Chains A and B, each alone.
Chain A
Amino acid sequence: MAMIQEQTLAVRSERVTMSSNDLAKFKTDKVCVFYGVKQALKDVRLDIFQNQVTALIGPSGCGKSTYLRCLNRMNDTITDCRVEGSFLLDGDDIYSKDMDPVHLRARVGMVFQKPNPFPKSIFENVSYGPRIHGLARDKHELETIVQTSLEKAGLWKEVNDRLHQPGTGLSGGQQQRLCIARAIAVQPEVILMDEPCSALDPIATARIEELIDELRQNYTIVIVTHSMQQAARVSQRTGFFHLGNLVETGATEQIFTNPVDQRTQDYITGRFG
């Protein structure tokens, strides 16, 4: 009896230390991911802090996308993909049996490399998420959600007169912002972005970067990017991946000015990658 009590106390104290551990939204540890027999991530340990932009950089094929997709269990859809390690979102294991991946993906939204609006109207694109999650009680509320989401994504002014035209008819940059609006509309806590600007021109990229900076007030953001400048501009923390290892993490400034590891140094100075 006494022992059990001690144990529960121990568990509780662990919880307390975790949540008091300042503002860590995601805590991941010992992350290993395999595609069949091929190991894509090797013992990655990374914390992602609330209301910050965390940038993941590294050469192609080093596992950035793989890591990102673990955070909302998108890898579940790949049949021969196996994920190990612990992923704690606000202290809850997202790979535990009680965690519904559908619910998780509502909390952890995602924006993809290529803009992928549904081949439906702009309104339907944004309202789809809130509708399936029952976030709006009536049509009016739904319209409000759509409007505020588009406003936050900086797209409202450009599309408010053609909400019912197909989302695929927008320009690439507008489509990507539409996808961001679609992710925001579900009111997630974290937004994952996998090279969101790689298909866009510099002006559209600048708009999205501005947007990311604004979104940081309300959301936790993880962004994968190939552009060193972009990582430097938008992020507060940076993680450098290399061949499936997380080589170095730290404040963005420190990584770019004073990297500890030789490989990071080489990568950011453009010696490989």
Chain B
Amino acid sequence: MIQLDVTLYPQEIDPAGKRDPQAISTADYQKLIRDALDDLFPDVTDRRERRELMALLSPGATDLLRAKVMADPSLIGQRVIIDVPFSDDLDQLAKGRIDAESETATRRVTDKQIEWFQRLEQRGLVRQAFNTTLFTAGDSRSPELAGIWGSLVGTFWTMLITMAIAFPLAIGAAIYLEEFAPKNRWTAMIEVNINNLAAVPSIVFGLLGLAVFLNFFGLPRSAPLVGGLVLALMTLPIIIIASRAALKAVPPSIREAALGVGASQVQTVFHHVVPLAMPGMLTGAILGMAHALGETAPLLMIGMVAFIVDIPGGPLDPATVMPVQIYLWADAPERAFVERSSAAIVILLGFLILMNLIAVMLRKRFERKW
């Protein structure tokens, strides 16, 4: 972060003096910031050097200034002090990840930039701050402006769809197959198929989603709706298998006890067997969801790998999800994205731990009831 002393000249921002929001928002904030930098370094006059100087700052600086002025037009005409993030390369320099002593050609900052940076440091204008845009912004080409929030929201919508479809369907299927279905060749075949589906590589589900949901049904590309559908298909067999195991584990003596007092098959299943199997089924479901949460491959096939800056507002907006975002960042050339990826991975792991905690808590709650 650098502390900049910016003078908001009225003639620059709002020459007409009408405080028209349209005019304010289209004003040339870049020039204001450049002027502020010029005040700091009056000795830099050369055009090329001035461009280098400007590259010290994040391209988001102008947006930051604009937002500040838009929020409070009365600032126009005054001098304000704002914190502006450095560009990602300077950020890496500040953190010592770029060695100032190394060969000029091998580093991404010029000698001049290093000198300016040191001068700024001497004047006490440089300070370290936690970059909260990580939690509030969508993706960006500039690492210092990129955030996880967009993919988090995308993940939320995707998981919501996955859960809404996979959970009831899988549990219903498990209960039907285990408790009510006649044992014949037809159900045996379904059983074999479910077991095989659980072992199908996840990218195949992505292909299926591409062929069925996008091409056949014409659903929007990159949408959490489609991602959720694909992940639901992928997790269905996992949850079904876990739920059936949980149902099988209910001792037959409980079924006999219920039937023995004259409970019907349906009553036996829903009053006794399912409640007893519920913790196991929930664990299976949450494990399936955790699996889906970390899944990247099938989403690549349905276009959720796109560069998406906007925060998705619903399941039909283009979006990406956290693991895909990590994959994208890890793939990006800018060095500062390494830190972004790491932060995103920590957040993803945090969510996985949270989900497991929920699973444990749900189990506890159900167990206490008996």
Chain A residues within CB distance 8 Å of chain B = 72, 74, 77, 79, 102-106, 109-112, 114, 116-120, 128-129, 132-133, 166, 168, 179, 182-183, 185-186
Contacts and interface: CB of A to CB of B under 8 A. Distances in A.
B332 interface: no
Contact of B260 (A72, A103, A166): A72
B276 interface: yes
B182 to A, nearest CB: 9
B271 to A, nearest CB: 7
A132 B260 contact: no
A8 B271 CA distance: 45
A207 B257 CA distance: 22
B259 A79 contact: no
B95 interface: no
7 contacts: A102-B263, A105-B261, A109-B260, A118-B254, A128-B261, A129-B262, A182-B261
Interface string B271-306: 110001000000000000000000000000000000
Given A119-B276, A166-B370, A186 B256 contact: no
B253 A186 contact: no
B47 interface: no
A112 B261 contact: no
A112 B264 contact: no
A45 to B, nearest CB: 25
A129 B261 contact: yes
Given A116-B253, A120-B370, A132-B267, 17 more contacts: A77-B255, A102-B262, A106-B261, A109-B261, A109-B262, A110-B260, A111-B260, A116-B256, A118-B258, A119-B254, A129-B261, A132-B263, A168-B370, A182-B261, A183-B261, A185-B261, A186-B261
Nearest to A126: B261
Contacts, number: 67
B18 interface: no
Interface of B: 183, 251, 253-264, 267, 271-272, 276, 370
Contacts of A128: 258, 261, 263, 271
B253 A114 contact: yes
Given A105-B260, A128-B271, A182-B261, A116 B254 contact: yes
B195 to A, nearest CB: 21
A185 B271 CA distance: 18
Contacts of A168: 370
Nearest to B370: A119
A106 B256 contact: no
B128 to A, nearest CB: 57
Contacts of A109: 260-262
Contact of A74 (B253, B260, B272, B370): B260
Contacts of B276: 119
Nearest to A107: B262
A132 B262 contact: yes
Contacts of B370: 119-120, 166, 168
Contacts of A104: 262
B81 to A, nearest CB: 67
Given A128-B271, A132-B267, A166-B370, A116 B257 contact: yes
Nearest to B251: A116
B257 A179 contact: yes
B271 A79 contact: no
A147 B183 CA distance: 42
Contacts of A77: 255-256, 259
B222 to A, nearest CB: 48
A114 B251 CA distance: 12
A253 B118 CA distance: 111
Contacts of B254: 116, 118-119
A74 B259 contact: yes
A224 B359 CA distance: 44
A112 B267 contact: no
B257 A105 contact: no
A117 B253 CA distance: 9
B253 to A, nearest CB: 4
Contact of B259 (A105, A119, A166, A186): A105
Nearest to A114: B253
A73 B226 CA distance: 49
A182 B253 CA distance: 14
B260 A112 contact: yes
A182 B263 CA distance: 12
Among A110, A111, A119, A166, max chain B CB count under 10 A is at A119
B63 to A, nearest CB: 61
A122 to B, nearest CB: 12
B104 to A, nearest CB: 74
A97 B21 CA distance: 82
Contacts of A79: 183
A105 B254 CA distance: 15
B253 A112 contact: yes
A36 to B, nearest CB: 13
Contacts of B258: 118, 128
A103 B262 contact: yes
Contacts of B260: 72, 74, 105, 109-112, 183
A183 B260 CA distance: 8
Contacts of B267: 132
B262 A186 contact: yes
A170 B268 CA distance: 23
Nearest to B276: A119
Contacts of B257: 112, 116-118, 179, 182
A71 B267 CA distance: 21
A166 B276 CA distance: 14
Contacts of A132: 261-263, 267, 271
Contacts of B256: 74, 77, 110, 112, 116
Contacts of A118: 254, 257-258, 272
